[in-house]
Structure 1
Amino acid sequence: MTSAPAIGFEYRPSRLLQRLRGLLVVLAVVALLLSGMALSVRLLLGLLLIGVLALMQRRQRATPTAVGWHPMSGWTVRMADGSDAPMSLRSFRVLAGCVVLNLAGVGGRHDLWLLPDNSDPDTRRRLRMRLAATGGQTP
């Protein structure tokens, strides 16, 4: 392939991951409440788990709204305020057709999960092919 087309897509956090995270916290709180620890310790740990979930949800609101890759300029991330930040791909994983990108740059570090509920199959397929061909690096 002499010239690779750019890849761009809008990004929104996966609702599936949010629900799974919430379910895990609920199960952990229920396990704490059913455990034999002192009531004060159970309540304290339960509040700590709920606080961790709230922090994770808050952090997720600062995720990018769009991501783009071009063979010459590399990765660019558009944030919610409309600013664009150049990023570099630190690592990526392909898990059962889903793609996880770990991007880092001046705008911070972002783990982007591209799952069936927040991205279309064609975008994930093109991204998997491009990452496999280049190893995630720009020429």
Structure 2
Amino acid sequence: MTSAPAIGFEYRPSRLLQRMLLVVAALAMLSVVLCALALWLKLLLIAGVLLATWQSARKAAGSPVAAAGWSADDSWTLHLADHEDVPAMLASFRVLGGFVLLRLRTAEQGAQVLLLAPDNSDADIRRRLRMRLATVQPGEAVPRL
């Protein structure tokens, strides 16, 4: 069997993820408003939802990764926004329909989560990643998320 070709792609955070995060936050705030709690507790919970939403959106939008590559010898490289290339290891992955979620671990940056969605990546790249991730053997590689 021939080795799999290298896969490289540019990365930018998904706007779809941020929109869905806002929808979930709005539903959480609506449920707090409609519940039978004291007003001060409702305000406290709404403030907590807003804080958690802000932190999650900031973390999702602030990824230092500008591009990623998976070579034929199963090694990963992340190209950071400051033009530095760092080696990475695939810690885990999950394929959810048309979405591919990768968790890559680097020595300097720690864990980097990349969500490849229809709004931030090419359908062909996601298809090739899904096909290549399907060949990863459970005992010899990474756990799934």
* Length-normalised TM-score, structure 1: 0.88
1:9-67: CA deviations, max 9, x gaps? 01111111111111110111121122211111111110111011111122123311211
Partners of 1:96 and 1:61 lie apart in 2 by 22
Give the letter for the 1:53 counterpart.
T
Partners of 2:28 and 2:99 lie apart in 1 by 27
Give 3-state SS (helix, strand or coil) of 2:54's partner.
helix
Q: What pairs up with 1:68-79 in 2 under 5 angstroms? A: 68-72=69-73, 74-79=75-80
RMSD of the alignment, in Å? 1.8
**Larger deviation, residues 91-100 vs 34-43:** 91-100
Matching residue of 1:83: 84
Give the letter for the 1:42 counterpart.
K
Identical amino acids, percent of aligned pairs = 47
Asked if 2 retains the 8 angstrom alpha-carbon contact of 1:62 and 1:80, the reply is: no
1:35 aligns with 2:50: no
Partners of 2:60 and 2:95 lie apart in 1 by 21
Give the letter for the 1:90 counterpart.
A
Matching residue of 2:116: 114
Matching residue of 1:57: 57
4+ long deviations beyond 4 Å: none
1:74-101: CA deviations, max 9, x gaps? 1111222222221111111222132111
Give the letter for the 1:8 counterpart.
G
Asked if 2 retains the 8 angstrom alpha-carbon contact of 1:98 and 1:124, the reply is: yes
Gaps of at least 5 residues in structure 1 are none
